[in-house]
Amino acid sequence: MSNETDLAPILKLRHVRRRFLLGETTIDALHDISLDIHAGEFLAVWGPSGSGKTTLMNIIGLIDSPTEGEVLFEEQDTRILADNALTEFRADKIGFVFQSFNLVPVLSALENVMLPLQIKGVDEGSARARATTALVDVGLERFKNSLPDKLSGGQRQRVAIARALVVDPKLVIADEPTANLDSENSRMIIDLMREMNQARKVTFVFTTHDQRLLDHVDRKIQLRDGNIASDEVMA
C-alpha cells in the first residue's frame, strides 16, 4: 500500500445515512456508514446492483448530501457550505469519471479536457497546455483533435480520465468506469487509473461489480444492502 495512507484522512464519513422517499415508501439506501479515505489511496467499492454503491459515491463526491451524518473533506464540514460554495469546493477538489463517459459530442478530445478549466476561468492558452499534458499522460495525444464518436470506448474513457485529472484534484471518483467496456479495455482502464494514482499522488475511489478488477487496489470495501459488509486493506 502507498505510504500516503499513513497520513490523516482526506475524507471522513461519520454515521452517514441516506433515505429516499418513493411515493409513500421510505427506502434506506445507506445505513450508518462510517469510513476514512486517506490521501493517495486506490480504493474500490464493490457489490451487486442495489447495494448502495452509487449513493455512497454521490455522497463522497459531494453531489448528494446524507439524510443524517457528517461528511468532512480535509476537515471541512461540508454540511455548512452554501450551495455555491459547495459547488466551487467540489470543482477544486474532486474529479469525476462516469461509466457513460459524458463527453460533449461536438467537442474534440482536447476541447473536452479543456472544458473544466475554462469553466473555472483559466485562460485558453493555459487550459490548452494543461489539457494537452493530461492527454499525453493517458496516451492519447495523437487523438487530441478527434471527436468522441471517432474514438473507441476505451479511448473515450481515457479522455474522461484526463478531464478528471486536468484540474489537479485531491480525489477522483469513478462510478462503474468499466461498465460499458469489454474485459480487456476494463483492465486497461483500471491499470491506467492505478498508474495516474501513483504518478500524480491523487486519491482514486471507484465502484465495480466485477471482482476481477480488484487485484491491484490498496483497499476494497464491499457494500451489501446499504451496509459495509467488509473493509479489507490489501497486502
pLDDT tens per residue across span 203-217: 999 999 888 889 889
- Residue with more model confidence, 118 or 235: 118
What's the mean per-residue pLDDT of the chain? 93
Q: What is the pLDDT of residues 90-99, one digit of tens each?
A: 999 999 998 8
CA distances, 18 to each of 13, 88, 168 (Å): 12, 23, 29
Q: Check whether 29 has a pLDDT greater than 80.
A: yes
Where b means 16+ CB within 10 Å and e means fewer, 193-206 reads beebbeebebbbbb
Residue 1: what pLDDT? 45
Residue 5: what pLDDT? 46
CA distances, 39 to each of 65, 121, 169, 217 (Å): 22, 27, 11, 14
pTM of the model as a whole:
0.91
- Can you tell me the mean pLDDT for 2-16? 76
Domain 40-61+82-233 coded CATH 3.30.70.360: no
At 6, is the pLDDT very low, low, confident or very high (cuts 50, 70, 90)?
low
Q: What is the pLDDT of residues 139-183, one digit of tens each?
A: 999 999 999 999 999 999 999 999 999 999 999 999 999 988 898
Residue 2: what pLDDT? 44
